[in-house]
Chain A
Amino acid sequence: QKEVEQDPGPLSVPEGAIVSLNCTYSNSAFQYFMWYRQYSRKGPELLMYTYSSGNKEDGRFTAQVDKSSKYISLFIRDSQPSDSATYLCAMSGMGGATNKLIFGTGTLLAVQP
């Protein structure tokens, strides 16, 4: 079983739709949760960062963390064609000197104009 599971998609939605992206994880030691956006042939770009459980909103993006269910979500409101990219969830906080990020495999999102 992978530490972080993410539906690879692809997910295709019409412009203006609400998009829901999700990850589940198995390690209860994770404390920090991130969402990255990666355009084709580019490096990952940090979108949202959340510590522990709860919600965080930034413009059209909302990140939710439910530690009791080991489940995190990213919602995109009023999706735009420019949101078309791969979305990667990442987690850390297992202690030690590194706190390396553990990534999901990414969900490919296509927003159709």
Chain B
Amino acid sequence: NAGVMQNPRHLVRRRGQEARLRCSPMKGHSHVYWYRQLPEEGLKFMVYLQKENIIDESGMPKERFSAEFPKEGPSILRIQQVVRGDSAAYFCASSPVGPANYGYTFGSGTRLTVV
């Protein structure tokens, strides 16, 4: 019974490149959440998706960031034209029903480093 799977675990990008982070939710989970953890800070909500729908993207930066959760395949967090300030750990979480009042199951994260 695999948990929330994120890949890659580590990603290095040069400034101006694109970063694609993938998240496969737990089996049977159709709700996905993305959080970002900057150094010395707690996790910050970015976006909440259901299959083929963005429910809440209030935490997403207005530019360069986008997310999707297609009918088939993993959820993707895409960052265009990365800058040094995008360096962070990005965590995906999933739940079987939403909104998840009882807490989520998180993946191990993707650590993005922009050089």
Contact indicator A104/B42 (Cβ below 8 Å): yes
Contact indicator A101/B48 (Cβ below 8 Å): no
Contact indicator A43/B91 (Cβ below 8 Å): yes
Closest chain-A Cβ to B7's Cβ sits at a distance in Å of 13
- Nearest A residue (CB) for B4: A43
* B100, CB-defined interface residue at 8 Å: yes
Contact indicator B102/A96 (Cβ below 8 Å): no
- How many interface residues does B have (CB within 8 Å)? 29
Chain B residues with CB below 8 A from A92, complex form: 99, 101
* A98, CB-defined interface residue at 8 Å: yes
Interface stretch (choices B11-19, B74-82, B105-113): B105-113
B99 touches which one: A41, A51, A97 (CB < 8 A)?
A97
Contact indicator A100/B48 (Cβ below 8 Å): yes
Chain B residues with CB below 8 A from A97, complex form: 48, 55-56, 99
Q: How far is the CA of A93 from the CA of B99 in the complex (A)?
A: 9
* B65, CB-defined interface residue at 8 Å: no
Interface-central residue, A31, A100, A102, A104, by most chain B CB under 10 Å: A100
* B40, CB-defined interface residue at 8 Å: yes
Q: Could you say which interface size class chain A belongs to?
A: 20 to 34
* B8, CB-defined interface residue at 8 Å: no
Q: How far is the CA of A9 from the CA of B59 in the complex (A)?
A: 27
Q: Would A96 and B103 be within 8 Å (CB), given that A88-B42, A105-B42 are in contact?
A: no
Given contacts A43-B108, A44-B106, A106-B42, 17 further A-B contacts (CB under 8 A): A32-B103, A34-B103, A36-B106, A43-B4, A45-B106, A51-B101, A88-B43, A90-B43, A90-B103, A96-B56, A97-B55, A100-B59, A101-B43, A103-B42, A103-B44, A104-B42, A105-B40
Can you give 14 A-B contacts (C-beta < 8 A)?
A32-B101, A43-B106, A43-B107, A44-B43, A45-B106, A46-B103, A46-B104, A98-B56, A99-B98, A99-B99, A99-B101, A100-B59, A103-B43, A105-B40
